[in-house]
Structure 1
Amino acid sequence: MTIGKMKKYEEMLQNPVLRPHLPETHWMTNSRTLRMLKTHSSLFIKPNHGSGGNGIIRVRRLRRGYEVQCGSSRKTAGPASVLKAIHSYRKSKHRYLVQKGLQLEKYHGVIFDIRVYLQKPKNDWMIAGMAARVAAPHKFVTNYHKGGHAEPLRRVLLSLFQNNQAKVNAYYQKIEKLSINIAKTVNHWHSIHELGVDLAIGKDGHIWIIEANSHPGHMLFTQLSDRTMIRTIMANKRSIGI
Structure 2
Amino acid sequence: MSRLVPDKWLKTNVLLKHQGIARHIPETRKFTGPQLARMLNKYGRVVIKPSLGTGGHGVILIYKQGTSYMIHHKQSVTRKRTLRGMLKEINRLRRGRAYLVQRGISLAQIDGRPIDFRVKLIVRNGRWITKAIVAKWARPGLIVTNICQGGTLLKARDAIRRSLSVAPEEKVRKLRALSYRSMRILSASFPGIDKLGFDYGVDTRGRIWMLEVNTKPS
Indicate conservation of the 8 Å contact 1:75/1:85, yes or no.
Answer: no
Cross-structure match for 1:15: 18
- Correspondent of 2:131 among 128, 131, 134: 128
Indicate conservation of the 8 Å contact 2:70/2:79, yes or no.
Answer: yes
Cross-structure match for 1:90: 94
Which one-letter code corresponds to 1:148 in the other structure? G
More strand by share: 2
- CA separation in 2, counterparts of 1:173 and 1:191? 26
The answer to whether residue 35 in structure 2 is matched with residue 32 in structure 1 is yes
Identity of paired residues, percent? 28
Cross-structure match for 1:191: 192
The answer to whether residue 170 in structure 2 is matched with residue 175 in structure 1 is no
- CA separation in 1, counterparts of 2:5 and 2:20? 25
C-alpha RMSD of the superposition: 1.5
The answer to whether residue 107 in structure 2 is matched with residue 104 in structure 1 is yes
Cross-structure match for 1:78: 81
Alignment deviations for residues 26-58 of structure 1 (CA, whole Å, 9 cap, x no partner): 111111111111111211111100211011111
Cross-structure match for 1:203: 204
Cross-structure match for 1:155: 158
- CA separation in 2, counterparts of 1:160 and 1:65? 30
Looking at CA atoms only, which structure, 1 or 2, has the larger radius of gyration? 1
Where structure 2 has 5 or more consecutive residues not aligned to the other structure, the ranges are none
Alignment deviations for residues 84-137 of structure 1 (CA, whole Å, 9 cap, x no partner): 121121121x21111110111112221000011111113332111111000001
Indicate conservation of the 8 Å contact 1:45/1:98, yes or no.
Answer: yes
Which one-letter code corresponds to 1:215 in the other structure? K
Which one-letter code corresponds to 2:137 in the other structure? V
- Aligned-residue offset at 1:160: 2.9
The answer to whether residue 117 in structure 2 is matched with residue 114 in structure 1 is yes
Cross-structure match for 1:55: 58
- CA separation in 1, counterparts of 2:161 and 2:61? 29
Cα distance, 1:161–1:28 mapped onto 2, change above 3 Å = closer
Q: Deviation above 6 Å: which 4+ runs of structure 1?
A: none
Cα distance, 1:134–1:213 mapped onto 2, change above 3 Å = same
- CA separation in 1, counterparts of 2:203 and 2:70? 22
Which one-letter code corresponds to 1:99 in the other structure? Q
Indicate conservation of the 8 Å contact 1:5/1:49, yes or no.
Answer: yes
Cα distance, 1:212–1:123 mapped onto 2, change above 3 Å = same
Indicate conservation of the 8 Å contact 1:46/1:98, yes or no.
Answer: yes
- CA separation in 1, counterparts of 2:126 and 2:69? 49
- CA separation in 2, counterparts of 1:207 and 1:2? 24
Q: Which has the higher contact order (CA 8 A, sep 6+)?
A: 2
- TM-score (structure 1 length as normaliser): 0.83
Where structure 1 has 5 or more consecutive residues not aligned to the other structure, the ranges are 218-242
Instruction: Specify the SS of the correspondent of 1:6.
Output: helix
Indicate conservation of the 8 Å contact 1:26/1:98, yes or no.
Answer: yes
- Aligned-residue offset at 1:169: 1.6
Cross-structure match for 1:215: 216
